[in-house]
Amino acid sequence: MYHSIKKEEIETFQRQLEKIRNRCRAIQFDDLDNPYNGKRRVLVTFDDGFRNFLENALPALQSRNIPAVLFIATGYLGKLPGWIEDGWEYSNEPLLERNQVAILPKKLVKVGSHTITHPHLDRIPACQLRRELEVSKSELERIVGASVDMLSFPFGSFNNDVIRSAKETGYRKFFTNVPVNGFWMREKELFGRLSVSPSDWPIEFFLKISGGYDWLANAILLKRRIVGIFNNKL
């Protein structure tokens, strides 16, 4: 899960793509439904929809024929990311314009929803949740002229109500920002991810694409269970 690729990070990003291509199999978005074939697979994704994806990331992906999924917060297309406070990382980086989204190569880049305004979906009223899901989906479908059935949860925040509402809206694959337990993977609906960046140390990035952080899925599940037990006792 990438977010932004700055101009000065292009060379490092290219080296990271080379590591993915040499050590793993960079898969197409449709391969998520195919059985595991023994070789570690990597799906490259980008959250938010920053304009520098088109300028700095896409050429490197195209030259290596590495596909990607781009999750876009539609309410900020052509604008600065309003959910990020001034002075924080990425706060001054604009998102893609609508016409820029429309010209993305469809065989290489799959567009998914990152809602309208990038809220914590598990903290908003049901009516607002429904609007965030429906309007962003329909807006992106008008722009790209194709079905949009992938959703990335902003901040990785979701619960069963969020997933149920998203399914009713027409989404069929969901992505969070941390690894998830194998139970969800067997359902082929919720996919965990690891945050990566050109600022990662080379050994750190290698471990991420090689499975060195897979243990986090069970650790996170255990933590949630412990927190749930503790809360129930209060």
Number of H helices, E strands in the chain: 9, 8
Residue 164 domain-assigned (yes or no):
yes
Residue 222 domain-assigned (yes or no):
yes
Q: Which domain holds residue 181?
A: 7-233
How many domains, in total, are found in the chain? Answer: 1
Please check the confidence at residue 231 and state whether its pLDDT lies above 50.
no
pLDDT in tens, 185-228: 445 789 989 999 999 999 999 999 988 777 665 555 555 555 44
Residue 1 domain-assigned (yes or no):
no
Residue 79 domain-assigned (yes or no):
yes
The DSSP code for 54 is I
Residue 117 domain-assigned (yes or no):
yes
pLDDT in tens, 73-108: 999 999 999 999 999 999 999 999 999 999 999 999
pLDDT at 30: 81
Residue 66 domain-assigned (yes or no):
yes
- Specify the CATH number for the domain of residue 69: 3.20.20.370
Whole-prediction pTM: 0.90
Residue 217 domain-assigned (yes or no):
yes
Residue 2 domain-assigned (yes or no):
no
Are the C-beta atoms of residues 9 and 60 closer than 8 Å to each other?
Answer: no
